[in-house]
Each structure stands twice: as C-alpha cells, then as structure tokens.
Amino acid sequence: MPLVTTKKLLLDAQAGGYAIGAFNVENMEMVQAVVAAAQELNSPVILQTTPSTVKYASLDYFYANVKTAAENATVPVVLHLDHGSSFDLAMRALRSGYTSIMIDGSHLDFEENIKVTKAVVDACHPSNVSVEAELGKVGGKEDGLDGGEGNPNTDPKEAALFVEKTGVDSLAIAIGTAHGVYKGEPNVDIKRLSEIKEAVSVPLVLHGTSGVPDATVKECIARGICKVNYATDLRIAFSKGVNDVLHDSPDTIDPKKYNAQGREEVKKYVMSKIQVCGSVNKA
C-alpha cells in the first residue's frame, strides 16, 4: 500500500497499549529486511533515516526505496525523518515525500525549541504529515552529535507546555536511555515517564532503545511509550551477517551474497523487536 503517516498508527497504539517499532535503515537491504519483518508479523512499521544517512544517499533515494517496499507490502509503512536537524532539512524531507518528520531542537533552549518545532508543525500539518519533537536530552551519540553527559531528563511540566505551544503530534522524551552501545545497564526513569504521561496527552517516543532490556521496554510501553526507536542494533546485525560470510568465504566478491546475509540478520532482529512492541497483527 502507499506510505502512510504516523498520526493514526501512534494514536491506535496509544489506545491499544502497544507501540510501533521505528527502525533506522541505511541501505536497500535494511529497508527490505524491516518491511519483510513487518509483513511476516502483520505489523505496522516505521522506517527512519537520520541526517547523516540522508547525506550518504539523499532523501530521494531513501524515499524511492521505502516507497517501493511499502507498495509491495500489505502492512502500513511510514517513512520518517529521524533527528531532523533544521527547518530546511525538515522541509526538504516533506517535499521528497517523507510521511513523518522529526524536528530535533533539544539542543536549543526551551523557547527556541518551541519556535523551530512550531514552524515545522505549521508547515507539515496542511499535508497531514505528522511531526515528532524532542524535549530533554537523550544521552550518547546520535549521528555523530553528542547528547552529552549528565544532561537533564524531560521535565513533565515543561513537556505539557511544549506540546500545548507547538501542537506537535508526538514527543521524544529523555528518561535515561542513550543512543549507541551501553557500557552498563541503562537506568531508565520509569517514574518520570509516568509523570510525563500524566501531564501530556500525545504519544510518547523512546529513543536509544538498542541494548535496553526487553522487559524495560515493555514496562515503558505499558506506561505510555507508543514509538520505540532502534538503530545501533540493526547496524550490528547487518554487519554480523556480512562479516559471517566474509569470514567463512573471504574470496566472496558478489555483494549480493554478503548483503543478503546482512539482510537476513536484520530481519530476524526486527521481528524480535516487533514482538517486544506488541504490534503483531495490528496492521
């Protein structure tokens, strides 16, 4: 089917007490793997690209890949801009056909974050494209940008004001998760999540989920998370598949051989996380 927007998917997830998995894709095989996993489990799915991925191969290439995969599937597929770094990039993604946009003004001060988020919301809503914003700072490195150490988690009162002033459709919150590989077990502030959920009615988004124990992710979903982002573990899965083939047959020169194995590993991983999200048979 044609690409869909996130709005209805996330509201349905919120009403049903499950989440939609959002998976970062970086090449055609990852796109195929994520959509195949969703198709096999009859689940809606979000595919997303960061600014550095867009820089690597352009918005149009990813749009063409994901649109083709979606049209060959019967489950709802979203193409989302992850961590949109500027109003300009958000507008370019909108024009390219992305059906969901994140504007990440979390590095700005509160008022500036509101300003850029509202500008993107005002530009996207006439096309029914939904907008995600971020308040508070998810730690670790995303796309080469350092979230920094000891940055503040999302304040529930600020979150309520932010949503009211921007009209944003979903909100990424900082509750102790971090992008990248965790050194130890992440310390997720479940109580803060409940307080934010109490204060804010839009669907909430969890970033930095690779490496977070499945039980913790399920607890977060039970307390209001409706979109769960996975990136690093897909990279690891894809690279494992490629490395396995090249390790066993170092003379392999056909990229299809090792890329197919990378694709298979990503599909397995995504299927397991769709199950954690509880969105099986919600297509």
For position 176 contacting ligand 13P by CB under 6 A, the verdict is no
Q: Where are the alpha helices (DSSP H) in 137-189?
A: 156-166
Of the candidate residues 80, 137, 207, 223, the single one contacting ligand 13P (CB under 6 A): 207
Triad 156, 193, 270: Cα angle to 5° = 135
Piece of 11-19, 85-93, 113-121, 225-233 that binds ligand 13P (CB under 6 A): 225-233
**Residues contacting residue 254 through CB under 8 Å, at least 6 positions apart:** none
Concerning whether 248 is annotated as a catalytic residue, the answer is no
Give the distance from CA 275 to its chain's centroid. 16
Of the candidate residues 179, 197, 227, 282, the single one contacting ligand 13P (CB under 6 A): 179
For position 208 contacting ligand 13P by CB under 6 A, the verdict is yes
Strands 77-84, 45-49: pairing kind: parallel
Closer of 154 and 209 to ligand 13P (Cβ) = 209
Piece of 57-65, 125-133, 192-200, 230-238 that binds ligand 13P (CB under 6 A): 230-238
SS3 250: coil
For position 278 contacting ligand 13P by CB under 6 A, the verdict is no
Q: How far is the CB of 44 from ligand 13P (least distance, A)?
A: 18
CB 73 within 8 A of CB 31: no
The CB density around residue 184, as the number of other CB atoms within 10 Å, is 6
**Residues contacting residue 46 through CB under 8 Å, at least 6 positions apart:** 6, 9, 20, 21, 22, 23, 77, 78, 80, 100, 227
For position 223 contacting ligand 13P by CB under 6 A, the verdict is no
Residues β-bridged to residue 29: none
For position 45 contacting ligand 13P by CB under 6 A, the verdict is no
For position 226 contacting ligand 13P by CB under 6 A, the verdict is no
Piece of 26-34, 39-47, 207-215, 253-261 that binds ligand 13P (CB under 6 A): 207-215
For position 137 contacting ligand 13P by CB under 6 A, the verdict is no
Which sequence positions are flagged as catalytic?
A: 82
Point out which residues bind ligand 13P (CB under 6 A): 24, 82-83, 142, 179-180, 207-210, 229-233
